[in-house]
């Protein structure tokens, strides 16, 4: 599968993953999940809440070891992660938070990312003084500063108001497209999945198996309600038959 210059290609092959529970017994969280994303492809990962989406993301990032299966990242893979909570260092200001994660990023790169996410005037602020929306932007800036070829985002727009979520979504898409980053975005919002993704991956209830892998062939700019109706119907069917 590995070709020359395939940086950014992500292959996932999970057979099963179990995690220890409080009682000492272990419980299976993930079942069979296999998919591959091409360079610059954006996939939305959907499924019932608590089904194991976050666990899959953590397994891909290497935060939990897979018992059975593998994740194939490109050799020169740099992986950016946006956790569901911003997870900034509270004792460091915004710019330092970004720079500590990406010591090799140049001043101009950082400045460009801050500008793209409207963070320039907040560079000296401490996380405690930021709203959730701003803190999320910092977490996104941190992930982009390492010049990732793979980006994992865990519900990056959850609990933001609609207008704010929409603006952040546009800014995020602009960054992803400009840098051609292969992205996997966890969401439980069907509209969001349709608006963002080239491909929608749907997981079942626990243990999560991949039950649908639906490409969206319509260009992003032409996705109006009428044209996306069939794909929406397909997604809803898969989500409701869980």
Partner 1 sequence: MVTEARSGVLLFNLAATLARVAAAFILAMGFGTVIGVLMGRHRAVDRIADTWVVILLNLPALVIIVLAYVWVGLNEVAAIGAVALNKLPNAIVTVREGARALDRELDEVAEVFRMSHWVRLRHVLLPQLAPYIAAAARSGLSLVWKIVLVVELMGRSNGVGFEIGVAFHLFDIRLLLAYAIPFVIVMLAIETLLVQPFERHVARWRFRPA
Of 14-22, 25-33, 86-94, 206-214, the window that binds partner 1 (rule: CB under 8 A) is 86-94
Q: Does 25 bind partner 1 (CB under 8 A)?
A: no
Taking the C-alpha atoms of 158, 171, 143 and 49 in order, what is their torsion angle to the nearest 10 degrees? 20
Q: Does 123 bind partner 1 (CB under 8 A)?
A: no
Q: Does 142 bind partner 1 (CB under 8 A)?
A: yes
Q: Closer to partner 1 at the Cβ: 61 or 190?
A: 61
Q: Closer to partner 1 at the Cβ: 19 or 166?
A: 19
Task: Give the residue among 98, 130, 172, 89 at the shortest CA–CA distance from 107.
Answer: 98
Beta-carbon contacts of 8 under 8 Å, excluding residues fewer than 6 positions away, are 38, 39, 40, 74, 149, 150, 180, 181, 182
Taking the C-alpha atoms of 225, 53, 12 and 16 in order, what is their torsion angle to the nearest 10 degrees? -140
What is the C-alpha to C-alpha distance for residues 168 and 96, in angstroms, rounded to an integer?
A: 22
| Count of residues touching partner 1 (by CB under 8 A) | 22
Q: Closer to partner 1 at the Cβ: 32 or 84?
A: 84
Q: Does 105 bind partner 1 (CB under 8 A)?
A: no
Distance between terminal CA atoms of the chain? 32
Q: Closer to partner 1 at the Cβ: 57 or 202?
A: 57
Of 38-46, 48-56, 101-109, 221-229, the window that binds partner 1 (rule: CB under 8 A) is 101-109
Please, which of residues 38-77 interact with partner 1 by CB under 8 A?
61-63
Binder among 27, 34, 85, 174 for partner 1 (CB under 8 A) = 85
Query: Between 160 and 199, how does the x/- string for binding to partner 1 read (CB under 8 A)?
Result: ----------------------------------------
Q: Closer to partner 1 at the Cβ: 66 or 194?
A: 66
Binder among 38, 50, 68, 91 for partner 1 (CB under 8 A) = 91
Note the residues at the interface with partner 1 (CB under 8 A): 61-63, 79, 81, 83, 85, 87, 89-92, 96, 100-103, 126, 128-129, 142, 146
């Amino acid at each position: 599968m590995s070709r020359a210059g395939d940086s950014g290609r992500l292959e996932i092959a999970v057979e099963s993953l179990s995690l220890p529970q409080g009682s000492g017994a272990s419980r299976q969280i993930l079942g069979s999940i296999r998919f591959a994303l091409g360079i610059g492809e954006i996939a939305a990962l959907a499924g019932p809440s608590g089904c194991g989406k976050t666990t899959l993301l953590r397994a891909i990032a290497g935060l939990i070891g897979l018992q059975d299966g593998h994740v194939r990242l490109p050799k020169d893979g740099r992986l950016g992660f946006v956790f569901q909570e911003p997870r900034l260092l509270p004792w460091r200001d915004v710019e330092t938070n970004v720079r500590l994660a990406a010591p090799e990023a140049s001043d101009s790169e950082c400045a460009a990312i801050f500008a793209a996410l409207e963070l320039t005037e907040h560079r000296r602020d401490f996380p405690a003084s930021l709203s959730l929306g701003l803190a999320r932007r910092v977490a996104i800036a941190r992930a982009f500063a390492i010049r990732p070829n793979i980006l994992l985002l865990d519900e990056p727009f959850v609990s933001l108001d609609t207008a704010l979520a929409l603006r952040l979504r546009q800014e995020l898409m602009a960054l992803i497209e400009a840098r051609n980053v292969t992205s996997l975005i966890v969401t439980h919002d069907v509209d969001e999945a349709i608006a963002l993704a080239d491909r929608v991956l749907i997981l079942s209830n626990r243990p999560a198996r991949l039950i649908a892998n639906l490409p969206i062939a319509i260009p992003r700019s032409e996705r109006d309600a009428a044209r996306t109706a069939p794909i929406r119907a397909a997604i809803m069917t898969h989500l409701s038959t869980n």
